A and B are shown apart, each in its own frame.
Chain A
């Protein structure tokens, strides 16, 4: 019975349809598995077992009434930056420690309508700022493949929970790689949709010209099932795009022959772990064997991606996080000393060091006298990065890169040096700068047994193509069936 926790969502859905298991039994089994593993992994900030069982009973009722939907009765969990009505939503920050979400995010509403069972809220870096989940105000999450390693970040709780069999899928968010990098670190699949593909209504904003919500699961097909539910235009988010949403899960079987895959020459050089390089090259050889042509492309402005991202994203963050002022919600301190002290002390004590660092950076980049040299310049370089991709897509249908230069690093390895931590985002950030869809999927393990991630980046709104290519690769690589022993 416990084997069921490791099975793909799509399989379990068929078991539910066939009546071989009920949603209540499935949810009970998952809750038992969470109970057995959570003290080691620590992926959840809030677990809602009663609400989950209530969702499961409702799903069983709906199925008994003849309803069929792939997500009906499937236990999933949500990164704690997405609002879930009536449930504590903290952004992994002390400033929102007791915040009860007054409404559901659009993605949550859509998943509820599809019948998903919500297990609770997952750990992450505070306000999604970080690459290791060590910036959570409530303690780190541990990588299920090796508990001394980070799960990546910022959606580290989401990646670890999926990898540990604690849920069939999770929602993450990706501003500079926060879905793909933890997916790579934890050996799962993560999709960052095109900018505008998924509504952000009800997402706690970090950097609004980058943030996207996306699915994380153990198989490509499972990600497709979630994405087709959460994607699409939402009148409550003016940046959500009107493009029709394909049924991604029905379009996974596509021929690879004739496709052109671009390999940016900047992506396999210095700083990339040898085993990561070898795994990516090996994947490319497999693609060539399938009739895909691999062409060399260039992203000449990739070397500017980190400063560009960290200037624009922190500028946006400094503005977005101005709302945490102790007036309407969240922590309030120092009010007896007047309004200015209340603002300053609430924010100083409520935010953790990395959030304050980014607010300081962003405030500086936007301040009089520095705006042109930093913020405006970064926006112009952002245009250059987008043009690099446009040129690459003249020669190739999609671009392949490592997701991260290394496999999961040890806890504490980069916490003393913020810049060193920023540099681990080098390969994921470019897709966010250009607003492109990108996906990470497992492509092997290093000598320590840690998963390696392969990243595919596509043209705007080409999620269907990325999923199909990833699905083809996954089908012929047996490690998709491996899971960590916990």
Chain B
């Protein structure tokens, strides 16, 4: 299991994390160590084993499509890093 610098950069890009050069080096070494240990999973015989995807039988989880928690406009907008009137303000996306 070897991670290279490009792979670490690509993961950081996918995760939208702006890492410094030092952080890249540190995470590369740590992830390599951790993932190396995780390869012990290769010893487990998973032939014919279904992946665990359902954690609980929640019964009939469907409900009527009615609003019972009306949007708390001002309370939600109060946490906005930047807002304009009733909108969240973001940097220009489309040139």
Residue numbers in A under 8 Å from B18 (CB-CB): 334, 341, 344-345, 347-348
Residue numbers in A under 8 Å from B25 (CB-CB): none
> How far is it, in angstroms, between the C-alpha of A368 and the C-alpha of B76 when the chains are bound?
36
Chain A interface (Cβ within 8 Å of chain B)?
99-100, 102-103, 194-196, 209, 235-236, 238-242, 301, 303-304, 306-308, 310-311, 318, 322, 325-332, 334-336, 338-345, 347-348, 351, 356-357, 359-361, 363-364, 367, 374, 376-384, 386, 418-419, 422, 433, 435
Q: Are B80 and A328 in contact (CB under 8 A)?
A: yes
Residue numbers in A under 8 Å from B88 (CB-CB): 327-328
Q: B59: nearest residue on chain A (CB-CB)? A: A242
Q: Are A360 and B44 in contact (CB under 8 A)?
A: no
Q: Are A318 and B55 in contact (CB under 8 A)?
A: no
Q: Are B52 and A379 in contact (CB under 8 A)?
A: yes
> How far is it, in angstroms, between the C-alpha of A301 and the C-alpha of B42 when the chains are bound?
12
Residue numbers in B under 8 Å from A335 (CB-CB): 82, 90-91
Q: Are B78 and A100 in contact (CB under 8 A)?
A: yes
Q: How far is the CB of B56 from chain A (nearest CB, A)?
A: 4
Contact A308-B41, Cβ < 8 Å, known A239-B58, A343-B16, A344-B18:
yes
Q: How far is the CB of A329 from chain B (nearest CB, A)?
A: 4
> How far is it, in angstroms, between the C-alpha of A348 and the C-alpha of B56 when the chains are bound?
35
Within residues 31 to 77 of chain B, which ones have a CB less than 8 A from any CB in chain A?
A: 31, 33-35, 37-38, 40-44, 46, 49-53, 55-59, 61, 63, 68-69, 72, 75-76
Q: B27: nearest residue on chain A (CB-CB)? A: A360
Residue numbers in B under 8 Å from A356 (CB-CB): 17, 19, 23, 27
Q: How far is the CB of A114 from chain B (nearest CB, A)?
A: 21
Residue numbers in A under 8 Å from B8 (CB-CB): 360
> How far is it, in angstroms, between the C-alpha of A433 and the C-alpha of B79 when the chains are bound?
35
Q: Are A359 and B52 in contact (CB under 8 A)?
A: no
Contact of A339 among B11, B57, B90 (CB under 8 A): B90
Contact of A310 among B17, B34, B50, B55 (CB under 8 A): B34
Residue numbers in B under 8 Å from A331 (CB-CB): 81
Q: Are A363 and B11 in contact (CB under 8 A)?
A: yes
Residue numbers in A under 8 Å from B93 (CB-CB): 339
Q: Are B19 and A348 in contact (CB under 8 A)?
A: yes
Q: Are B38 and A318 in contact (CB under 8 A)?
A: no
Contact of B51 among A322, A347, A383 (CB under 8 A): A383
Residue numbers in A under 8 Å from B37 (CB-CB): 306-307, 419
Residue numbers in A under 8 Å from B23 (CB-CB): 356
Residue numbers in B under 8 Å from A330 (CB-CB): 79, 81
> How far is it, in angstroms, between the C-alpha of A99 and the C-alpha of B75 when the chains are bound?
11
Q: Are A382 and B56 in contact (CB under 8 A)?
A: no
Q: Are A329 and B79 in contact (CB under 8 A)?
A: yes
Q: Can you give 13 A-B contacts (C-beta < 8 A)?
A: A100-B75, A100-B79, A103-B69, A241-B59, A328-B79, A329-B81, A339-B90, A344-B17, A351-B17, A361-B34, A363-B14, A380-B46, A433-B52
